[in-house]
Copies of this chain bind each other. A is one copy, B any other.
């Protein structure tokens, strides 16, 4: 893995033209700006999962809940769970994944009691290195019951705040906890307030409170804080009651009392989860309305318990959930500080953005405006792209149902693709929800082309990526819009597919008629490469024009990175599909045959003001395949490697 030293001097740029403030502001400044503008916002708390598959699920929950527009999320810290390790379930790794791969502004909790300064500094350094910018500084619960103050150690969260400011200056935004009813161990409510004041004076930027059950509790707490000179933002911790057991457990841990008016409702329905959840939603919405209307609450912080339904429903009812968030760029940006200037990516990883982020994580700089063919930094190796955030969310069993327990021919592979595109059940009656190259259902804009995609996949043009032509749609278009308001977005039509060498031979003839309108790259697993790209230059296929800004061209077809993508795209046939089957099984041999013999093709229609001609190109190819010119003898496929195809006899065509 190489960070591409050459590129660092070539591509470093001081400013990024899109939504600069949104991407470059630190959390406390975003919070201040949102508060001053008077709009309300929300944030979400999660705890680290216990298992690897729990981690996969949590990350896809981040993606779903991230789409609603939280200002930040935070990840709790459990000293007993090896929270600073590299394990996929550690707090550190979960927070890093949220920032780097899900693009979420994140706060990592950190507890200090029973920890050495060296250990804490180590955690903070690691967090900084991973791109984390925010810490929730907590004392934490002592391990065992015999805790007492240590000389020079971390006895209070204040010590941790001081330590962070001392060792890392102003790098981190620091959050501290507030207790609307006083910390259970504090001598008094007033003394606890004074402790909170100390934490803020030591350098904390804002406060998140412990949960509470009555709006008044919080509003009084804020008044009391203001009265003793605490001026920073104070965010209420909101806990939607989601079940009887979880409520009891939380109350026990936090030593809180549930008000009688709530217990009266809950006790009778304690075995009816749905009823309790509905009550919790109603109760939370009511309380949140009071808080927001008080004018003292700019945003709400939700204790999600890693669940989606209740919190999302509360947010929807409050009108805080953003159903159709504006996209700053066509792809999801990463929240790592060094990627804040990133504004262009190759189109190839459009459906695998986490893989792209992973494979470029060691780059020092991100091409900003110009891809720069001669200076493309090296991509990370493929060898460990099985990191949990890249894993399929489906089990092997589910995958076999979707992709076929037993393949009988290349045709059965074509049918899997067709079922995926139509979002219809395959011949065994299972819906195909994903493919090795697409872990999610089709994007809305791809739906616009469903009929054409269906038609070509049936005949073995196995599409894995595409985008339609767009000639100047408003930047707030609900399907294809992105970037600041008042602008216009454009796309060149793009189509990427695997297909047989026989098809490629004919396709190359057809493409001659489409010069220079259509650019193509055609490559097989061995790297045999045919292209009409000019001088290996990248082709911008998505761009936007905005008021008062430079042009933004966030997506390119880049010949250099296509060769890296090619390795990944071909490998997925084997790693994700062939390996579902037994070693010598016909199913595996069929996938292996495709892997060894098919070509990966990408096509760009440069004439974006005209109708997309790429379907016509494929039609012309089918036409020529169906009606070969009679006088000429059949030619050998030009690009066909002179190898035997081991399954030719087994795989009826």
Chain A interfacial positions (CB closer than 8 Å to B):
9-15, 17, 20-21, 368-375, 471-472, 485-488, 490, 516-517, 519, 532-535, 537-540, 543, 545-551, 553, 556, 604, 606-609
Contacts and interface: CB of A to CB of B under 8 A. Distances in A.
Contacts of A556: 550
A519 B545 CA distance: 14
B549 A539 contact: yes
Contacts of A548: 516, 519, 532-534, 537, 539, 604, 606
A15 B373 contact: yes
B545 A549 contact: no
Contacts of A21: 535
A550 B488 contact: no
List the 5 shortest-distance A-B pairs measured between CB atoms, nearest first: A547-B606, A369-B370, A519-B548, A551-B553, A369-B369
A558 to B, nearest CB: 9
Given A533-B548, A534-B548, A543-B551, 4 more contacts: A13-B372, A472-B472, A486-B516, A548-B604
Contacts of A532: 548
A257 to B, nearest CB: 50
Contacts of A609: 472, 488
A643 B471 CA distance: 51
Given A486-B516, A488-B609, A608-B545, A13 B370 contact: yes
A396 to B, nearest CB: 42
Given A15-B537, A545-B608, A608-B545, A371 B550 contact: yes
A537 B17 contact: yes
A485 B607 CA distance: 12
A55 to B, nearest CB: 38
A20 B535 contact: yes
Nearest to A557: B548
A373 to B, nearest CB: 6
A596 to B, nearest CB: 30
A545 B550 contact: no
A376 B286 CA distance: 54
A546 B517 CA distance: 10
Contacts of A535: 20-21
B14 A10 contact: yes
Given A13-B370, A370-B13, A372-B15, A540 B550 contact: yes
Which DSSP category, helix, strand, loop or mixed, fits chain A's interface?
loop
Nearest to A374: B14
A17 B370 contact: yes
A398 B465 CA distance: 65
A147 B519 CA distance: 63
6 contacts: A10-B12, A13-B372, A20-B535, A472-B472, A533-B548, A534-B548
A540 B549 contact: yes
A376 to B, nearest CB: 10
A233 to B, nearest CB: 25
Given A13-B10, A550-B553, A490 B545 contact: yes
A372 B543 CA distance: 18
Nearest to A606: B547
B375 A14 contact: yes
Contacts of A534: 547-549
A374 B10 CA distance: 17
A540 B545 contact: yes
A374 B15 CA distance: 7
Which of the listed residues A471, A516, A532 has the most CB atoms from chain B within 10 Å of its own CB? A516
A523 to B, nearest CB: 17
Nearest to A21: B535
A532 B371 CA distance: 30
A450 B609 CA distance: 29
Given A486-B517, A551-B540, A372 B14 contact: yes
A517 B472 CA distance: 16
A369 to B, nearest CB: 5
Nearest to A553: B551
A545 B556 CA distance: 13
A487 B543 CA distance: 15
Contacts of A516: 485-486, 547-548
A370 B550 contact: yes
B547 A519 contact: yes
A374 B12 CA distance: 13
A606 B606 CA distance: 24
A15 to B, nearest CB: 6
Contacts of A543: 545, 551
A588 B12 CA distance: 50
A536 to B, nearest CB: 9
Contacts of A539: 547-550
Contacts of A547: 516-517, 519, 534, 539, 606
Nearest to A375: B14
Nearest to A17: B537
Most buried by B among A471, A532, A551, A609: A551
A490 B487 CA distance: 14
A516 B11 CA distance: 31
A512 to B, nearest CB: 15
